[in-house]
Structure 1
Amino acid sequence: MTSDQGPIVQSALLRTELVRLRKEKKLTQEQVARQLEWSPSKLIRVEGGKNAVTRTDLQALLRVYDVTSEARQERLQSLARGAREPAWWNAYRDELDPRFLNYVGYAAGAAYIRQFHGAVVPGLIQTPEYAEVLSTGKASEKGRVLAAKLRIQRQQELAKRQHPPRQHYIIDEAVIRRHVGIGIDPAIMPNQLTSIADASERNDLLTIRILPFSAGAHPGLEGPFSMLEFDGDLDDILYLEGRSGASLMITGEDDRIPEYRDTFELLLEQSLSADESIELLRQSAEQLMA
């Protein structure tokens, strides 16, 4: 069955399973390489995602690991084919940070996206007009256009998936009170807020919660963050968003992942309910239009 998780996630799923198969056979990388007459560095690159896994190489590995089930072989070959597919976000590599695009690739295949933001509307729920205003600080005109285009294409690509991810956003009230775009078109921000409210009401997979000013100081003041969860045996990913060059993607057994998971739950407890959040979004839109 073809996956729609994108090449980065399919590659990660494939590599995770290959490592598990090797460890189940109690084989070291050197032992496997010796059996296949490979250099140890080749297997290290394959398991580390530096080399694509060809059909021939995968068949060779599965023979060493005694994987005889046709269904399992086909599933792994399907992952390998998907991992070799060109990524739609490659079109942005010349102008945008490749580390952020790597995160984009993982988010494109996530099953659950959670994010807190205290400064701007999260990219996956931005309108094109709002996204364009936020991109005005890019160094080049091309970079500005591509940054705005990327935000909208991410939304479109997620919507195409057979099983789109659940998305859960916590937004500080400061975000919805800031009249972004007022000097260009005063309707940009009210339309953005109305768009969020409408989308939340019609999409069962989208939840918006507003963290009100009345919550006072809160852990989210340390900065925006995102968490990704996946179908399949992949670790969660934590993305700490910063200024250009300062963002950080964290995975594996890092202690910060459960810490931020707890932080998200704490912020939820301090936030308005989903219905109250939608009501506040619409009220703020009306006030900004007045």
Structure 2
Amino acid sequence: MTPTCAYEVRQCSTAAGGRPTVRSRRLGTALRQYRQAAKLDQPQAAEIIAASQARVSRVESGHVTARVIEVRLLLDAYGVEDPGVRAKLEDLARHSKNRGWWLEHAAHLRPDYVDHIALEDDATHIREWQPVMMPGLLQTPAYAEAVVAASPHYIEPERAAQLVQVRVGRQAKIEDGGASYAAILWEAVLAQPLVDAEIHREQLSALLEVGRRKNVTVQVLPVSAGVLAGYSCAFSSFSFDEEPVVEAVAMDNLRGTSVLEGAEDLAAYASAFDLLRSSALTPDASAELIRSILRSLKEDTS
């Protein structure tokens, strides 16, 4: 997903402290779900870890992070024996406060955009639908700079450069093979340049190159798909295990980026991506279409 600059840039100060991190929130949500499945209430959970009910509540909301020993005790009491689940939750507890590379820019980024980057950094599978512009994970520096410059909000040159740097920094996850990445783009994104023609051609060439990576799949939803292109706004889904089970979804809105974690929301967006993917051209056919568009753009300027 490619939030516009207004969504990425911090427009006003945010109260320090007390805000859940995306990792602590994921841990808290999982602990709450396992507690409820075990038919225990928060006071009972508090007794298990010799803490107050208020602490259990704050752990489950993500406002504080459970210690590893607390996670182990709670999972024992909840009957969670799967070693993979236990290891994942213990790892979240152990590393929830680790500083990511992006936090050096956090003073200039919206907190919800920081959450989005954290999800990308933790993900093993990323699935993205983009009907408007090139996804941030695929943008060239020149394309990213042009998008930032086109923001309706004035952005100081120093901040603009930081936004481009952050967007390029996000791409290391894909370049290093740290996640499987599948992107579906509407054909209009490719055929109707939103930036300078030369920058757009460079972007299409880069798209073809990155599409050759073993961990990357690029598909194009053709214009002939019609109304399906408006089926959903841009969104990204994230999985954190070996299997691509959707565990979080990030999507744009007028106020920024919303992260969805409810079971019904996750199922809906997983189905939406499957529908879009089944209607899109195959990766090989998509690459051929991109090459065709690139040739036509070159001919138009010759």
Q: Cα distance 1:140–1:214, how it changes in 2: closer, same or farther (>3 A)? A: same
CA deviation map 1:28-47 (0-9, x unaligned): 22123245542211111112
Partner of 1:193: 204
SS of the residue aligned with 2:96?
A: helix
Partner of 1:238: 249
Shift of 1:277: 0.9
Q: Cα distance 1:271–1:75, how it changes in 2: closer, same or farther (>3 A)? A: closer
Which of 99, 123, 127 aligns to 2:136? It is: 123
Which of 146, 155, 176 aligns to 2:162? It is: 146
Task: Assess if the C-alpha contact under 8 Å between 1:235 and 1:252 holds in 2.
Answer: no
TM-score, length of structure 2 as denominator length: 0.76
**What pairs up with 1:224-235 in 2 under 5 angstroms?**
224-231=234-241
**C-alpha separation between the residues in 2 aligned to 1:81 and 1:72?**
14
SS of the residue aligned with 1:238?
A: strand
Letter aligned with residue 188 of structure 1: I
Shift of 1:74: 7.6
Partner of 1:206: 216
CA deviation map 1:239-271 (0-9, x unaligned): 22234x1542211223x4333333323322332
Matching of residue 271 in structure 1 with residue 268 in structure 2: no
**C-alpha separation between the residues in 1 aligned to 2:76 and 2:292?**
63
Task: Assess if the C-alpha contact under 8 Å between 2:174 and 2:181 holds in 1.
Answer: no
Shift of 1:284: 1.7
SS of the residue aligned with 1:241?
A: strand
CA deviation map 1:205-242 (0-9, x unaligned): 21111122222222435422222222179862222223
Task: Give RMSD over aligned pairs.
Answer: 3.4
Task: Assess if the C-alpha contact under 8 Å between 1:8 and 1:106 holds in 2.
Answer: no
Q: Cα distance 1:261–1:282, how it changes in 2: closer, same or farther (>3 A)? A: same
Q: Cα distance 1:67–1:276, how it changes in 2: closer, same or farther (>3 A)? A: closer
SS of the residue aligned with 1:121?
A: coil
**What pairs up with 1:10-49 in 2 under 5 angstroms?**
11=24, 14-15=27-28, 18-19=31-32, 22=35, 26-34=39-47, 36-49=49-62
Partner of 1:176: 190
SS of the residue aligned with 1:46?
A: helix
Q: Structure 1 vs Structure 2: percent identity of aligned residues?
A: 27
Shift of 1:156: 1.1
Task: Assess if the C-alpha contact under 8 Å between 2:43 and 2:53 holds in 1.
Answer: yes
Partner of 2:4: none
Task: Assess if the C-alpha contact under 8 Å between 2:174 and 2:180 holds in 1.
Answer: no
**C-alpha separation between the residues in 1 aligned to 2:233 and 2:280?**
17
**C-alpha separation between the residues in 2 aligned to 1:103 and 1:173?**
25
Task: Assess if the C-alpha contact under 8 Å between 1:190 and 1:284 holds in 2.
Answer: no
Task: Assess if the C-alpha contact under 8 Å between 1:9 and 1:105 holds in 2.
Answer: yes
Partner of 1:85: 98
Shift of 1:48: 1.9
Task: Assess if the C-alpha contact under 8 Å between 1:235 and 1:251 holds in 2.
Answer: no
Shift of 1:50: 0.6
Please, which runs of 5 or more residues in structure 1 have no aligned partner?
1-6
Shift of 1:144: 1.9
Q: Cα distance 1:139–1:96, how it changes in 2: closer, same or farther (>3 A)? A: farther
Partner of 1:4: none
**C-alpha separation between the residues in 2 aligned to 1:172 and 1:156?**
24
Larger deviation: 22-31 or 266-275? 22-31
Task: Assess if the C-alpha contact under 8 Å between 2:137 and 2:170 holds in 1.
Answer: yes
